[in-house]
Amino acid sequence: MSREEGDLAGQPAATPQPAQVGTPAEFVAVLRVLRTWSGLTYRQLESKATAHGDTLPASTIATTLGRTTLPRERFVDAFTRACGLGDEEVRQWLNVRQRIATGEPAPTGDSQASGSDVSKRAPRWHRAAGLAVAASIGMAGTLGVSSLFNASAPSAAPSARPVSGLRILAVGSWARIHPVRTPEFCVTEGRDRTGHYKTAVAAQQPCAEAVQPRVFLEPLGKNIVQIQWHHPKYSIGCLTVLPKGPGRDLLEPRDDCADDNRAQQFRIGSVGPSAAAHFRLRPVSTGRCLSLRDQDTDVGTEIVQGRCSGAADQEFLIELIPPP
């Protein structure tokens, strides 16, 4: 096994193991953990796969990891290699996938060889990736973290959700974002109506017309997410606050997604009663608030950053939706 990049300071490099998973949902959950362990973005995984001679679009990775069905063997092979696993480890993942596909039961802890004792490996990495497992498997209603990785470890508490007041999975969730003032609209692709900025920007459009791109919220820290657009033609773009130039304060989908780019990080904070499910979105790079440009409510109104005023046009509804 080789892990070429992505290690966090103090985070050991023990590899997530799928040996005890028994259902497709559990298998996908551990694939998500493997992605977290790799420290690689979808774009970086796509590049790694290409270097290995595989075809693995970033959009395919995001879609597959957002589902609970068993991935194709070809995907598992390319994805695990892109994450940095060697031939023997890839073979183990493929064997587990085959076992699940044929309906064979998962091995019990007693049947595991001493050299593959999951509990001996898990404590070194499940602290960093365990929340992802807890959220993914909890949502699927299957095994808890303890039964998959460490028989003595307690399951993560529900309060460990990455975004307060919103049931986003620790590995991310698909969503629609609606301005509170115009809930029939969705935040999606639009154009700068002034004509000063020529490329796509975030704007509100009728939700019935906002089929593409799909929106994916990926947690980067407590109450902080990256807002990704997944497009069948343009792949993945991350909404990025433009700090200067003709597009100043607009949000542009950029394909250079990076977890450490503060212009692509947004802090989600609840507004008013929890039952209302209203949120403010604040770019981490500036601490300002996203809002409808000039408090407009028309079709195509751009989403911009500005001074936080507490006005209703700075509030959004976040609707979590099933994977595509």
Is residue 165, in this structure, part of any structural domain at all?
A: no
Give one word for 223, left, alpha or beta, with left for phi > 0 and alpha for psi -120 to 50: left
How would you label 19-40 residue by residue, b for 16+ Cβ within 10 Å and e otherwise? bbbbbbbbbbbbbbbbbbbbbb
220 shares a domain with 113: no
Residues 229 and 265 in one domain: yes
pLDDT of 114 over the 90 cut? no
More confident residue, 188 or 32: 188
* pLDDT score at 274: 75
Do residues 199 and 268 both lie within one domain?
yes
Domain final residue pick, 127, 159, 191: 159
The percent of residues above 70 in pLDDT, for the chain, comes to: 80
Co-location of 226 and 140 in the same domain = no
Same domain, 234 and 290: yes
Domain membership of residue 3 (yes or no) is no
Query: What is the chain's Cα-based Rg?
Result: 21
Residue 243 belongs to a domain? yes
Res 60: pLDDT: 87
Residue 50: pLDDT band (50, 70, 90) is very high
Contact 39, 7 (CB under 8 A): yes
- Of 159, 194, 220, the residue that ends a domain is 159
Whether 116 shows a pLDDT value over 50: the answer reads no
User: Could you tell me the two tokens for 176?
Assistant: 């629609």
Same domain, 145 and 187: no
For the entire predicted model, the pTM comes to 0.64
* 11 lies in some domain: no
Residue pair 56/234 in contact by the 8 Å Cβ criterion? no
- 113 and 48 belong to one structural domain: yes
Domain range for residue 209? 173-320
Paired residues of 256 in beta bridges = none
pLDDT given at position 160: 57
Instruction: State how many domains the chain has.
Output: 2
Final residue belonging to a domain, choices 99, 130, 159: 159
User: Residue 9 domain-assigned?
Assistant: no
* Structure-model confidence comparison of residues 161 and 120, the more confident one: 161
Same domain for 184 and 155: no
Q: What is the CATH number of the domain that holds 217?
A: 2.80.10.50
18 within some domain? no
Which pLDDT value is given to residue 181? Answer: 95
Say which residue the tokens 């979808």 belong to. 42
Check whether 275 has a pLDDT greater than 80: no
Using alpha carbons, select from 302, 299, 320 the residue that is nearest to residue 209: 299
Asked if residue 181 belongs to a domain, the reply is yes
Spatial contact of 100 and 27, defined as CB atoms under 8 Å apart:
yes
pLDDT > 60? residue 112:
no
pLDDT for position 276: 76
192 and 139 inside one domain? no
Report the 3 state secondary structure along the chain: CCCCCCCCCCCCCCCCCCCCCCCHHHHHHHHHHHHHHHCCCHHHHHHHHHHCCCCCCHHHHHHHHCCCCCCCHHHHHHHHHHCCCCHHHHHHHHHHHHHHHCCCCCCCHHHCCHHHCHHHHHHHCHHHHHHHHHHHHHHHCCCCHHHHHCCCCCCCCHHHCCCCCCCCCCCCEEEEEEECCCCCEEEEEECCCCCCCCCCEEEEEEHHHCCCCEEEEEEEECCEEEEEEEECCCEEEEEEECCCCCCCCEEEEECCCCCCCHHHCEEEEEECCHHHCEEEEEECCCCCEEEEHHHCCCCCCEEEEECCCCCHHHCEEEEECCCC
Q: Which residues pair with 279 in a beta bridge?
A: 270, 316
